[in-house]
Amino acid sequence: MNSITEEILTSTLIKRAEDSYKGTYGKVLVIGGNEDMGGAAILTASAAVYSGAGLVTVATAKANHVSLHARLPEAMVVDSTDLKKVTEQVEKTDVIVIGPGLGLSQEALDVLTTVFSSVSQEQHVVIDGSAISLMAEHDLPYPKTQVIYTPHVGEWKKMTGLSQAEQEGEANAIQQKKIGGTIVLKSNRTKVYFNDAAWKNTAGNPAMATGGMGDTLAGMIAGFVAQFDDKEKAILAAVFLHSKIGDTLAEKQYVVLPSQIIEEIPYTMKHYSQK
Amino acid sequence: MNSITEEILTSTLIKRAEDSYKGTYGKVLVIGGNEDMGGAAILTASAAVYSGAGLVTVATAKANHVSLHARLPEAMVVDSTDLKKVTEQVEKTDVIVIGPGLGLSQEALDVLTTVFSSVSQEQHVVIDGSAISLMAEHDLPYPKTQVIYTPHVGEWKKMTGLSQAEQEGEANAIQQKKIGGTIVLKSNRTKVYFNDAAWKNTAGNPAMATGGMGDTLAGMIAGFVAQFDDKEKAILAAVFLHSKIGDTLAEKQYVVLPSQIIEEIPYTMKHYSQK
Amino acid sequence: MNSITEEILTSTLIKRAEDSYKGTYGKVLVIGGNEDMGGAAILTASAAVYSGAGLVTVATAKANHVSLHARLPEAMVVDSTDLKKVTEQVEKTDVIVIGPGLGLSQEALDVLTTVFSSVSQEQHVVIDGSAISLMAEHDLPYPKTQVIYTPHVGEWKKMTGLSQAEQEGEANAIQQKKIGGTIVLKSNRTKVYFNDAAWKNTAGNPAMATGGMGDTLAGMIAGFVAQFDDKEKAILAAVFLHSKIGDTLAEKQYVVLPSQIIEEIPYTMKHYSQK
Amino acid sequence: MNSITEEILTSTLIKRAEDSYKGTYGKVLVIGGNEDMGGAAILTASAAVYSGAGLVTVATAKANHVSLHARLPEAMVVDSTDLKKVTEQVEKTDVIVIGPGLGLSQEALDVLTTVFSSVSQEQHVVIDGSAISLMAEHDLPYPKTQVIYTPHVGEWKKMTGLSQAEQEGEANAIQQKKIGGTIVLKSNRTKVYFNDAAWKNTAGNPAMATGGMGDTLAGMIAGFVAQFDDKEKAILAAVFLHSKIGDTLAEKQYVVLPSQIIEEIPYTMKHYSQK
């Protein structure tokens, strides 16, 4: 198993071309946030914007539109129950994150199946949180696109049947081959499984053990995949950056909040881009 | 009477286990905030998140959902008038705070009695503000659970009949035995009464004499009780930390706002965890 | 004409008593903010809280409740069109500010006349912005209470008929005697007229010439009158502090925003309390 | 082609007159922000306030009023679908920005044609984003007022038919003469075309390639045109300042957010005003 270290981040963060514009850095669509869990979608979208995605749109419950804009005027918003609008957005997008705070209702299932039937093979879809649970619960087929799953231990169990004790390197790799796509298995030392390689994070700490951290990581992965050409390195770099910022903040904080991670992204990216 | 000093804080703030996750640090449910006093619930929830609770949910009036998310995307939210949902949340929770900004309406009474009939003996309930007044006014029986009451002088009078002048160490201790649970009697030198011991805070200052300070303390107590095993030390540590941050900020501020206290929590916790 | 200098601020900012609590520092009720001008009420309330008022409530249009809480969870809120609730709040309050962003509608007039008929002689009322215009337009009698008017040049003309050129020291003093109360005549060198003395500010600068500055001053005056015993000195001290913070910020900023003034209040108060 | 350098900024940022007041620095009306793109109007209005406009009002969808106030209490707000109110605001205003996040709906077209039929020759109108697209799509006549167009490459093509490759200095200048007004053609090196001169920016960098940057520039241009007498220099100075702040922030950030640019405006203006 390979180690995810700062080398992946420094080699990913290349200098931006002088004549680039926002379109160069990709469009991200975040789908999530029901009436009770809107904060998750806000964190994911914020992480995508601060990670450098060119343009970010959020499909979320109407109840969350005002709080999203109050925190992040840089994002656009559509009603996630308006499936026609969601489909239009899907078609215009490079990277989709679906799941943060989406919930397990019929409405959530509807938007998930709508997205799965709309995405094309060129698009990248990060499947997180509720979307993983919905897929397992309703036995949905894997969507025909570039998929990145971001389960935590419990969600990986739902996806594979593997108990926590069984979630070892080889067993996980076998499951990845069955499922396809990329598996970002979140834990205190997050592991990433591609078709042909497995990686283990070297950063991260228990001050980050708080609600919203996973939503934030999903947004960072989306932002990186949207703007960098080597998608595998983009995923690994986002995983490392998320934990590395957490480590730096934990030097001065007993607990680290997701929104604090997000604010540091542009500064830490600059730091590693100059190494 | 024992003195609450920094020693309690340093011995409570142990190093977090490397392989811990958000579930390790407990679930907190904040119940409060009617249409006019939503800010109280926001402050309590924010204090719980910044104190290191693993996961925080707020049951509050619908009118407050957007402002909560705009300030604290890390929290989840449910409608406090939806008693079925509140009961479901109570069952999933380790620590409940009920009362901040809850008000004295019939709706407030309904949610209070619903919670009292749902909690189990293993759960911890912080009873604050309006919830104390409602209990006194309606002569509600003490709930069958681990209770922490956080009255100020006027609310302690409602609970016990003791005038301010009568609220002396011995009289208070006798009342604690009658009521059971823990009494956090808030004042410029907050006192804490357990079954077998009484403690007096050594920190705090009049720059903190402003609306919302009590709501903030309630959230910090909940966050500490959720994550630390020794519940008595957790309560004392939260009381000291709240006042100590206030003392530090008051060196540069004539008045100290609750939201300013909250932002300092992670840094001051780190400071004392390294002593 | 006397000069308002830092001496007034240093002698007003006495050390707070150790055993004081939020009730010691007074209750402020801000009445203002219609559907289009809610920001004014937010600024006034924030200024009152950051100035050290013990407890602040805002009566404003429902449309503004969420934005108020999102910025200032320390305040409580009631619907300004619910005249029964407003009257109840008036009765519980020490200092009222009426006018910021209130507008000139029939609804605004209704709340103004309701307040005027509810206030008692012991209460202090700051009459600002739209409330001054409404009084002039509808020829309302001066309310029977301790009044502080905070007109700018145009509003002072409406109150007195004096053109800008005629707004000289003597003519203004004569008008103050006719009207009663205190006149805070806002300009680049604000003047304050009491029954027996006139004062002129020595601080202030054109970087402060931006919308919301007057609303902020009204809130600071209310916060100071609520907590300090010498009401005349409290008013003068608030006027000086507002401009002095503006002067300090203008050393590094070409323009100074009201919300930036507000954040500095606790620090600058501390500074002068130690002189 | 002339170069836009810091000299334009230093000569524009004159010392404000001591006896000036908010009216001296002009009224700006921002018209934009439909239900899905409210953030754009928030950024434009914030940029105008932080640039020093005396008074800023926003006409936007009702859905955006709360988020605007939560971020910017200094602004006033009206409903952009209330055309009577919008017309009243247009009449009271010095500078109008129309377009950021306005969208392409019939409602958007209605407010655009209403504004075009209300403006007078003395007023300045910044036409941005959706408003440019609407004009091209519906072949609207150029409004009879002082117009500043702020197209990006794609919008300039809609206005002129020129492909990106054809958008050269001479061809652009010919188009400007046909259209009239000022053209601010946004790119990594923004060009400005007046009747008698063309200018090219020397600042700007690819860290600024993110959604909302154009909305922010539109607000800065409006704020500068509102307060400075030489309108051509005001436009050039705003263009330079926007990019220059971006360059400074990019020294420490891999990406730069529009809201971060906005917060720096008062400080950077001060810096150049002292050169």
Q: What confidence tier does A144 reach under pLDDT thresholds 50, 70, 90?
A: confident
Strand partners, D200: D3, D191
3-state secondary structure of B244: helix
**Helices within A161-230 (DSSP H only):** 169-179, 213-227
Q: How far is the C-alpha of A235 from the C-alpha of A226, rounded, in Å?
A: 10
Stretch A213-220: mean pLDDT, rounded? 98
Q: Do D152 and A19 touch (CB under 8 A)?
A: no
Mutate to test the interface with C, among D60, D69, D244, D262 (most CBs of C within 10 A): D69
What gap in Å lies between CA A172 and CA A153, rounded to an integer? 11
Structure confidence at residue D73 (pLDDT): 98
Residue C201's CB is within 10 A of a number of other CB atoms, namely 22
Residues of chain C with pLDDT under 50: none
What residues of chain A lie within 8 A of the CB of B18, using their CB? 188, 205-206
Q: Torsions phi, psi of A43, nearest 5? A: -65, -45
- pLDDT tens-place string over residues C105-117: 999 999 999 999 9
pLDDT band at B144 (very low <50, low <70, confident <90, very high): confident
Q: Which chains are adjacent to chain B, needing at least 3 Cβ pairs under 8 Å?
A: A, C, D
Q: Using an 8 Å CB-CB cutoff, list chain C residues near A70.
A: 67, 70
How many domains are contained in chain D?
1
**Whole-number pLDDT of residue B32:** 98
What local confidence, expressed as pLDDT, does residue A145 receive?
87
- The three-class DSSP label of residue A159 is helix
Q: Which of B72, B255, B263 to mutate to test the interface with C (most CBs of C within 10 A)?
A: B255
* Spacing of C-alpha A18 from chain mean position: 28
In this prediction, residue C54 carries a pLDDT of 97
Q: Choose among B154, B261, B127, B259: nearest CA to B204.
A: B261
Residues of D in contact with C153 (CB under 8 A): 21
Burial class (CB in 10 A: 0-12, 13-18, 19+), D110: middle
Chain B residue whose CA is closest to A188: B19
Mean pLDDT of B8-13: 97
Mutation target to probe the B interface, by most B beta carbons within 10 A, among C22, C85, C244, C268 is: C22
Alpha carbon distance A211, A205 (integer Å) = 14
Q: Compute the count of residue pairs across chains A and D with CB atoms less than 8 Å apart.
A: 113
Sequence-separated (6 or more) residues with CB below 8 Å from residue A274: none
Residues of D in contact with B66 (CB under 8 A): 66
Contact between residue A149 and residue A182 where contact means Cβ atoms under 8 Å apart:
yes
pLDDT, position B182: 98
Q: How far is CA A198 from the centre of its chain?
A: 18
Give residue-wise pLDDT tens across range B26-65.
999 999 999 999 999 999 999 999 999 999 999 999 999 9
- Residue B169 binned pLDDT confidence (cut-offs 50, 70, 90): confident
Q: What mean pLDDT value characterizes chain A?
A: 97
Question: Using CA atoms, how far apart are residues B24 and B34, in angstroms rounded to an integer?
Answer: 31
Structure token pair of residue B35: 């249409």
Which residue of chain D has the CA closest to A264?
A: D253
> Are D35 and A73 a contacting pair at CB < 8 A?
no
Q: Specify whether the CB–CB gap between B242 and B261 falls below 8 A.
A: yes
Q: What is the DSSP string of B102-152?
A: --SSHHHHHHHHHHHHH--TTSEEEEETHHHHHHHHTTPPPPSSEEEEE-B
Give me the residues paired with residue D182 across strands: D148
Secondary structure (3-state) at D81: coil
Q: With bands split at pLDDT 50, 70 and 90, how would you rate the model's confidence at B275?
A: confident
Residue C239 in contact with residue C192, Cβ under 8 Å? yes
Which CATH number does the domain housing residue C219 bear? 3.40.1190.20
Whether D217 and D152 have beta carbons less than 8 Å apart is answered as: no
- A121 to chain B, minimum CA–CA distance in Å? 33
Q: With contacts defined as CB-CB under 8 Å, which chain D residues touch C256? A: 266
The answer to whether the CB atoms of B209 and C270 lie below 8 A apart is no
Contact residues for D165 (Cβ-Cβ < 8 A; gap 6+): none
Residue B145 has pLDDT above 90, yes or no: no
With an 8 Å Cβ cutoff, are A267 and D255 in contact?
no
Structural domain containing residue C219: 2-13+22-273
Q: Give the count of Cβ contacts less than 8 A between chain C and D.
A: 113
Amino acid (one-letter) located at B34:
N
Counting as low any pLDDT under 70, the low residues of chain D are none
Chain D residues within an 8 Å CB radius of A78 = 36
Calpha distance C217→C199 (Å, rounded): 16
CA dist C162 and C221 (Å) reads 25
User: Do residues B95 and B28 make contact, with C-beta atoms less than 8 angstroms apart?
Assistant: yes
Task: Find, among C47, C188, C43, C31, the residue nearest to C123 by Cα.
Answer: C31
**Where do we find the tokens 């971060």?**
D260
pLDDT, tens digit, for every residue of C22-47? Answer: 999 999 999 999 999 999 999 999 99
Q: Closest-CA residue in chain A for D63?
A: A66
Residue whose pair of structure tokens reads 């004009």 in the numeric block: D135
- Find tokens 């600059």 and name the residue: A270
Contact B83, B116 (CB under 8 A): no
Is-contact A176 A148, C-beta < 8 A?
Answer: no
Q: Is the model's pLDDT at A44 over the cut of 90? A: yes
pLDDT, tens digit (0-9, with 9 covering 90-100), for B170-223: 999 999 999 999 999 999 999 999 999 999 999 999 999 999 999 999 999 999
Find the residue in B nearest to A152 (Cα): B21
- What average pLDDT does this structure show over A97-116? 98
State how far residue C92 is from chain B, nearest Cα, in angstroms: 15
CA distance B255 to chain D (A): 23
pLDDT tens per residue, range C141-151? 999 889 999 99
Q: A5-20: per-residue pLDDT in tens?
A: 999 999 999 999 999 9
State the smallest CA–CA distance between residue D67 and chain B in angstroms: 9
Measured from the Cβ of residue D202, the count of other Cβ atoms closer than 10 Å reads 15
Nearest chain B residue to D71 by CA distance is: B70
Q: Which of A44, A47, A48 is nearest to A27 (CA)?
A: A48
Q: What residues of B are in contact with residue A35 (Cβ under 8 Å)?
A: 65
State whether B36 and C270 contact (CB < 8 Å).
no
Q: How far apart are CA D105 and CA D36, in angstroms?
A: 12
Contacts of C70 in chain B (CB under 8 A): 66-67, 70-71
Q: Where are the alpha helices (DSSP H) in chain B?
A: 6-12, 38-50, 65-71, 83-91, 106-118, 130-137, 153-160, 169-179, 213-227, 231-250, 258-273
